[in-house]
């Protein structure tokens, strides 16, 4: 047995079970019992290195128990670090963490995790995950350890020292051709998602913006009062209609960015679809009776509840299957299709950026300075020319 001194701490290192054990004396606890920390290793040098790390952590105020694992760290982050995020994001992070992080790294002691371990873990996933998914799982580990750092559970974040490798090629987003778009609009007529598909394809709104759309934000121009009024008050017997894209299903109801807040004039086919959808929703409300939940949403379930993203995806795939173009399309590709069709229709890229909520800071500032938002009409004009008010109805 040999005595050691590391910083202000005295200890011993002694042979045990074919290796070595080191113990540091930490004084006495509140209950009067002697406090010691032990570390084991195959060689005396390994034990000394571990004890030195213990002292560094003690002096830095690290208070994680020696048994605190990467899995504990990630689970703590899932429980405490996702406040304010929407349910879909929380569910996605939880699924990725419990499938790709915890099973592969979870058993390792957080204090023992090294950059090489993170490198090997990411390299092992690079053959099965897309680059985007790799970035997400890497970000989960970095954020979890960052939270542990903030709570004095570990000294440094080794995950920050590693570069995310390139993964497999993900499926690129596609756009419907004009002919495919017309077939999809035709197939959607018998679906409850008909108005959803029409509005998404003909205005380019994001899926999270469409699901958050309120009837109060579907407006008609009133010649009598010279203002835009909610269509539920002004009625559909008007000449011009617009939609306020001011909300989304993201956390706090905000759009993706401030620049995404925009007001778009509605093409005639979208107005017609919304008119029929409003009548369908009124019928749903009567059938549901007391079970109806008044959310004010344009697109909702038969009892008024918000639409779930997964249900929208399934419903849309049934539409594309009926249209004869397969079941691999996603609702977000309606937005890509809108951009493509507008571009083919001769709309300048600057105008498309405005329509999609990618306007410049100068345009955004001008929008927010006005109580009545200027309405971007070009998308409606082109959509009416390309599709026509009655070409799919």
Distance of alpha carbon 362 from alpha carbon 253, whole angstroms: 24
Distance of alpha carbon 206 from alpha carbon 29, whole angstroms: 59
Clarify whether 368 is annotated catalytic.
yes
Clarify whether 206 is annotated catalytic.
yes
The active-site residue, picked from 38, 174, 256, 332, is 256
Distance of alpha carbon 37 from alpha carbon 26, whole angstroms: 7
Distance of alpha carbon 173 from alpha carbon 76, whole angstroms: 35
The active-site residue, picked from 206, 247, 250, 373, is 206
Clarify whether 358 is annotated catalytic.
yes
The active-site residue, picked from 261, 335, 373, 378, is 335
Catalytic annotation, residues: 206, 256, 335, 358, 368
């Amino acid at each position: 047995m040999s005595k050691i001194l590391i910083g202000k701490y005295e200890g011993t290192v002694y042979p045990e079970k074919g290796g070595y054990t080191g113990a540091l004396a930490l004084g006495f606890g509140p209950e009067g019992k002697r406090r010691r920390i032990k570390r084991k290793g195959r060689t005396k040098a390994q034990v000394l290195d571990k004890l030195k790390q213990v002292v560094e952590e003690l002096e830095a105020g690290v208070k994680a128990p020696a048994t605190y694992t990467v899995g504990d760290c990630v689970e703590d982050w899932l429980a405490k670090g996702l406040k304010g995020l929407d349910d879909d994001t929380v569910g996605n992070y939880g699924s990725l963490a419990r499938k790709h992080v915890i099973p592969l790294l979870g058993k390792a002691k957080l204090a023992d995790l090294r950059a090489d371990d993170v490198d090997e873990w990411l390299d092992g996933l690079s053959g099965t995950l897309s680059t985007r998914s790799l970035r997400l799982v890497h970000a989960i580990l970095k954020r979890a350890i960052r939270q542990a750092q903030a709570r004095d559970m570990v000294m440094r974040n080794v995950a920050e020292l590693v570069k995310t490798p390139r993964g497999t090629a993900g499926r690129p987003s596609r756009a419907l051709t004009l002919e495919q778009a017309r077939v999809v609009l035709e197939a959607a007529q018998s679906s409850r998602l008909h108005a959803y598909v029409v509005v998404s394809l003909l205005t380019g709104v994001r899926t999270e913006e469409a699901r958050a759309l309120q009837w109060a934000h579907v407006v008609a121009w009133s010649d009598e009062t010279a203002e835009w009024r909610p269509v539920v008050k002004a009625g559909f017997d008007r000449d011009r209609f617009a939609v306020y894209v001011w909300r989304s299903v993201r956390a706090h109801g905000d759009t993706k960015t401030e620049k995404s807040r925009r007001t778009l004039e509605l093409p005639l086919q979208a107005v017609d679809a919304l008119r029929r959808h409003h009548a369908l929703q009124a019928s749903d409300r009567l059938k549901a009776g007391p079970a109806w939940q008044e959310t004010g949403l344009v697109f909702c379930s038969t009892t008024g509840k918000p639409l779930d993203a997964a249900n929208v995806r399934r419903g849309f795939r049934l539409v594309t299957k009926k249209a004869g173009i397969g079941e691999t399309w996603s609702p977000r590709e309606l937005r890509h299709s809108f951009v493509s069709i507008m571009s083919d229709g001769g709309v300048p890229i600057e105008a498309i950026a405005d329509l999609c909520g990618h306007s410049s800071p100068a345009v955004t500032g001008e929008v927010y300075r006005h109580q009545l938002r200027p309405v971007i009409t070009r998308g409606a004009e082109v959509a009416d020319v390309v599709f026509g008010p009655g070409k799919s109805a």
